[in-house]
Amino acid sequence: MTLLLIDIGNTRVKWARLVDGKMSPQQAAANAGWTAADYARRVIGRGWTSGARLASRSAAAPADVPVDVDEHAGAWAGDRIVVSSVAGDEVNGALTEAAAKAGAPTPEFVASERSAAGVTTDYIDPWRLGVDRFVAAIGAHHLSSGQPVCVVNIGTAMTVDLIDGSGRHRGGAIVPGPALMVSSLLTQTNGIRLRATGGPAGATGMFAKSTRNAIGEGARYAAAGVIDRALEEARILVGTRPLVILSGGGSVDIKPLIRSTCVSLPDLVLHGLAVWAHQTPPTVRQTPATGRPETAGTRHPKTAARTQGRQTSRKRRPVV
């Protein structure tokens, strides 16, 4: 069985293949302006023909009618493409088109739910929780061996989420990422922009000696300060200091400033997708409203609201 795991963020797409329980190294690229052909060439790849035929036949067959499968004829029956995307319909449509052109299985777009793969969220409206945060919580919970865990993703935005030892997502915070903090100062304040342009950089540290460094270091320390404060609040909620897992492209610059011990896991969302896929059966159907493929876990907000609390999942160790 092959799983193609794809995480589409605000500025980059990350992906890896899970083949017979072994995950390949994560690949990543900035995907601004990509077409379906780009996704097909860069991410989807080749060799999916048999799997595509199977997916098509499975989708067309009634739910109670089994589909005969010769697992030795090309792709394995379990081949799937599982996606976490916050990029919107246009990008998701391009990826779906790319899979069709490549003869690959129809992508399954995961959506946030009340409960899935061992994690239950306290979010008032679960569908409003970013799917990347939900999937990262699943991955973190299954990797933390039942310990409380704080997941920090540092990218365009910085998110901090707390998952207790039982898999309960206690909520989280969203703040601008360090790069966005810097950008907002440079674009919204004339005086700072002028003083930050050119001139010596000087030494780094909290108390910088140039405006250019004062902006950059201020953003880094601000991000680290939010994380340290979040851990204090988390300790009060769960009774112990949680494990901290860092992910996202901006985490490398922030990790040295965090006072608590942290574990870096850049492909945390892909780990979460792997866990979700192994606990969620592959079902594909067409949505009457859009005609786009809808899969297990990809529900319209109104549908999700009707099904909140119904799904239960048993905990399983990741297969990576």
Which residue of the set 38, 70, 125, 132 is catalytic? 132
Measure Cα distances from 153 to 16, 25, 48 in Å: 19, 19, 32
* Model pLDDT for residues 216-258, shown as the tens digit of each residue: 999 999 999 999 999 999 999 999 999 999 998 889 999 999 9
What is d(CA 37, CA 115) in angstroms, rounded to the nearest whole number?
35
Supply the angle between the helices 178-188 and 211-238 in degrees, to the nearest 10: 140
Q: Are 208 and 142 in contact (CB under 8 A)?
A: no
Of 143, 150, 147, 31, nearest to 83 by C-alpha is 31
* Model pLDDT for residues 84-122, shown as the tens digit of each residue: 999 999 999 999 999 999 999 999 999 999 999 999 999
Supply the angle between the helices 131-143 and 268-279 in degrees, to the nearest 10: 80
Per-residue pLDDT band for 49 (boundaries 50, 70, 90) equals: low
**What is the separation of C-alpha 190 from the centre of its chain, rounded to a whole number of angstroms?**
36
In the chain, the percentage of residues whose pLDDT exceeds 90 is 58
Q: Which amino acid is at 36?
A: A
Per-residue pLDDT band for 293 (boundaries 50, 70, 90) equals: very low
If you average pLDDT over residues 145-156, what whole number do you get? 93
Per-residue pLDDT band for 283 (boundaries 50, 70, 90) equals: low
Per-residue pLDDT band for 193 (boundaries 50, 70, 90) equals: confident
Domains assigned to the chain: 2-109 (3.30.420.40), 144-266 (3.30.420.40)
The answer to whether residue 228 is catalytic is no
For the four alpha carbons of 106, 107, 108 and 111, in that order, the dihedral sign comes to: negative
Q: Which runs of E-coded beta strand occur in the chain?
A: 2-8, 12-19, 22-23, 27-30, 80-85, 108-109, 115-116, 119-121, 149-154, 157-163, 168-176, 243-247, 262-264, 284-286, 293-295
pLDDT of 208 > 90? The answer is no
Whole-prediction pTM: 0.77
Q: Which amino acid is at 146?
A: G
